[in-house]
Amino acid sequence: MAHHHVPSLEDTKTTLDGLGGKVFAVSAAVGVIGLVVSIGLGLAEGDDLRHFGYSYLVNFAFFLAIALGALFFLPIQYVTKASWIIVVRRLVEVMAASLPVLALLAVPVVVLAGRIYGWAAPEAGSDPLLAHKVAFLSPRWFTIRWAIYFGLWTWLSFTFWRRSLAQDATGDLRHTHKLENFSGFALLVYALSVSLAGMDLLMSVDYIWFSTIFGVYFWAGGLVSFFAVLTLVTMGLQKTGRLTHIVSPEHFHDYGKLMFAFTFFWAYIAFSQYMLYWYANIPEETGWYLLRSGQGWGKVGMVVLFAAFLLPFAGLISRYAKRNRKMLAFWAAWIVVAQWINLYWVVMPEYSHDFVFSPMDVTLFFGIGGTWLAAITRLAMGRSLVPMKDPRLDDSLRFENA
């Protein structure tokens, strides 16, 4: 095959420049206004912020899962010595490095635990099913665990972030070596902490219910949203004339493959959990699904089945869809919404057995999402959007799907 002109970093803009300040200001404003309005809406409900707490949990879990998806994707690139992705790796690093900001955003979940989590409610103490694990599901240990999770995640994400930036300056290959060695270990720490955190955050809302795969379910859903957000962010930057030429349809094709593959993987995990509990039909296990299949929530469950699995699966299967910019953007945005609905369906039935939807759910999405976007913009400002001196950058620029 004839070699095309190999794009170089000179062909395009690789910094945010003036755009950074604008995006930061707007998203921070959206974030703050969103949060303030949400608190107002929450207080207006007059339920001691109970509804607010659940709504907050949905949106917090959504953005946390995306950042954790980024934190997974980084070490995977290093252990596999992948090169195609290098040209956009900085975007992944930025998303992962936003985890300390998400630690701040986790504070309301911990503070409002008594309104969200059954186990933290004052009247729960008398339940013998809880007494057995009260040492684990207690406000104190819950707080300590979240401190540990975020401590670990911050450490992991900043190790990648710092070394990658340092390599920008010097091009020192030792950073690549160090991170390749670090990544295997990072994945181990990641798997244990994220699985347990998923259970803490979402499974323990119903403290009776349990599922060994739940941590994987949380992680897989987040990974799908992460790939979708990465696609949208890359496209957004290209719209403003950044990263053009160097991120080619070849890279977007791979984004599409990853979205497709992990949509399927997420559905496989969801099916494994659902089918096994449905089949064995043990009350303590099916209760969780029973609640989510009746009174309005059942319809949401069907929406999740179609929106988060069947439709994007069919939509992304063809090569054409993955290489067509508009279609890929459509499905990426679709997946973001679908995964959000999935989390809504996981959390909200615990708040109300009947279907509910309030403006707060949307304002909190913008509140937390705006804050998060402000954080990643701030991190990216004044830095190159491409790891300029990565030894595999050249391969990434030349990348073509075979």
Rounded Cα distance between 32 and 42, Å, is 15
Residues 6+ apart with CB under 8 A from 362: none
Task: Decide whether 136 or 330 has the Cβ nearer to other proteins.
Answer: 136
Least Cβ distance, residue 73 to other proteins (angstroms):
14
Least Cβ distance, residue 83 to other proteins (angstroms):
5
Calculate the CA 199 to chain-centre distance. 15
Radius of gyration of the CA atoms of the chain, in A = 21
Least Cβ distance, residue 126 to other proteins (angstroms):
15
In which residue are the tokens 């279609």 written?
Answer: 327
Task: Decide whether 295 or 318 has the Cβ nearer to other proteins.
Answer: 318
Rounded Cα distance between 59 and 124, Å, is 26
Task: Decide whether 155 or 185 has the Cβ nearer to other proteins.
Answer: 185
In which residue are the tokens 């991190």 written?
Answer: 379
Least Cβ distance, residue 128 to other proteins (angstroms):
8
Least Cβ distance, residue 188 to other proteins (angstroms):
6
C-beta separation of 329 from 235 below 8 A: yes
Task: Decide whether 169 or 280 has the Cβ nearer to other proteins.
Answer: 280
C-beta separation of 208 from 129 below 8 A: yes
| DSSP character string of 78-135 | HHTT--TTHHHHHHHHHHHHTHHHHHHHTHHHHHTHHHH-GGGSGGGGG-HHHHTTTT
User: What 8-state DSSP symbol labels residue 203?
Assistant: G
Task: Decide whether 54 or 274 has the Cβ nearer to other proteins.
Answer: 274
C-beta separation of 39 from 268 below 8 A: no
What residues make contact with other proteins under the rule CB under 8 A?
1, 3, 79-81, 83-84, 129, 132-133, 136, 173, 176-177, 180, 184, 187-188, 191-192, 195, 210-216, 250, 257, 264, 268-269, 272-273, 275-277, 279-280, 282, 284, 391-392, 394-396, 398-402
Task: Decide whether 22 or 177 has the Cβ nearer to other proteins.
Answer: 177
Q: How far is CA 305 from CA 148, 154, 296, 335, in A?
A: 34, 34, 15, 12
Rounded Cα distance between 289 and 124, Å, is 22
- Give the total residue count for the chain: 402
Residues 6+ apart with CB under 8 A from 191: none
Least Cβ distance, residue 369 to other proteins (angstroms):
30
Q: How far is CA 2 from CA 167, 219, 323, 392, 398, in A?
A: 32, 41, 20, 21, 12
Least Cβ distance, residue 373 to other proteins (angstroms):
31
C-beta separation of 115 from 50 below 8 A: yes
Task: Decide whether 132 or 353 has the Cβ nearer to other proteins.
Answer: 132
Task: Decide whether 169 or 279 has the Cβ nearer to other proteins.
Answer: 279
Least Cβ distance, residue 332 to other proteins (angstroms):
21
Task: Decide whether 83 or 234 has the Cβ nearer to other proteins.
Answer: 83
